[in-house]
A and B are shown apart, each in its own frame.
Chain A
Amino acid sequence: MIKTFTQDDLIRYIYQETTPEESIEIETALIFDEQLSETYNNLSGTVESLKAVKLKPSEDTIDKILSYSKSYDLHALR
């Protein structure tokens, strides 16, 4: 018998927080349950989109961070 899964179960699955046994059960349910599969596609598509939202700080800021680390001993001695 195929178990019923909720959207919260799918979210845990997408973020790899399900047990191996749960993952297999969800993957099986996704094959047979069209509505679950559609919900999964929507949720995972949105999560994939989120992965694209990344910004990059300026090189100047990174240089200042690295300089601070290199001169830490000087700060610490003060």
Chain B
Amino acid sequence: MRKYAVSDSQLISQYKNGNEEAFAELVNRHKNKIYTTIYLIVKDQFLAEDLLQETYVKVVNTIKSGRYNEEGKFLPWVTRIAHNLAIDHFRKAKRYPMIVMEDGSNIFNTLEFSEDSIESRQIQQDTHALLRDLIKELPDSQREVLMMRHYMQMSFQEIAEATDVSINTALGRMRYALINLRKKMNKLNIAYDQNLYPR
């Protein structure tokens, strides 16, 4: 996990004391991870943006009203709010996310790049878009564990408790998710390449 000079809990303390810059830092620090979590559930860019706003309205309301008590665990807490809002959205709409292979072209515009050439950017865009589609194709139980562990940074024990299964089942679902992803990547010839996935 990335280490920051100022921790999340320090930023929250500053924010509680009225420092809006600290809040801006918190939002910018985690926005991509939380947005990706929501997007991978709802599969719609505009809806994901709305739900991201809703997530942070809850965050602001909770912190500013003095009800925040998860010091040091900011990201899992926010991501859990985002995850629940995204799932609630489908419950309200009385449907669970179906596999939709959208063209994703508008999303390409918002991807961050670290390489310079147009060609390498295009390869990176295509590969990331394919990977997103592959994650969306996973069975719900596998995708849920993958997102909880990978994006929400919950431990396997926490996932087991949250999903009411044993830790071995949670680990098994993660294993199948990774194996299925690998198989799909191999089928499409997507290889792990350090140049494509800079740390």
Please list the residues of chain A having a beta carbon within 8 angstroms of any beta carbon in chain B. 7-8, 11-12, 15, 17, 42-43, 45-58, 61-62, 64-66, 68-70, 72, 76
Contacts and interface: CB of A to CB of B under 8 A. Distances in A.
A69 to B, nearest CB: 5
A48 B172 CA distance: 19
B24 A55 contact: no
Contacts of A76: 64-65
A52 B31 contact: no
A72 B35 CA distance: 22
A45 B28 CA distance: 27
A56 B128 contact: no
Contacts of B197: 48-49, 51-52
Interface in B116-165: 124, 127-128, 131-132, 135, 146, 149-150, 155-156
Contacts of B35: 55-57
B192 A45 contact: yes
B156 A15 contact: yes
Contacts of A8: 168, 171-172, 175
Interface of B is mostly: helix
Q: How large is the interface on B (under 10, 10 to 19, 20 to 34, 35 or more residues)?
A: 35 or more
Interface stretch (B5-13, B45-53, B68-76, B88-96): B45-53
Contacts of A69: 20, 23, 56, 60, 64
A72 B185 CA distance: 46
Contact of A56 (B111, B155, B178, B192): B111
A70 to B, nearest CB: 6
B64 A72 contact: yes
Given A52-B197, A55-B35, 15 more contacts: A7-B175, A8-B171, A17-B155, A45-B192, A48-B197, A49-B185, A51-B197, A53-B131, A54-B32, A54-B33, A54-B36, A57-B35, A57-B110, A68-B60, A69-B20
A11 B111 contact: no
Contact of A46 (B48, B111, B128, B192): B192
Contacts of A50: 131, 135, 146, 150, 181
Nearest to B49: A61
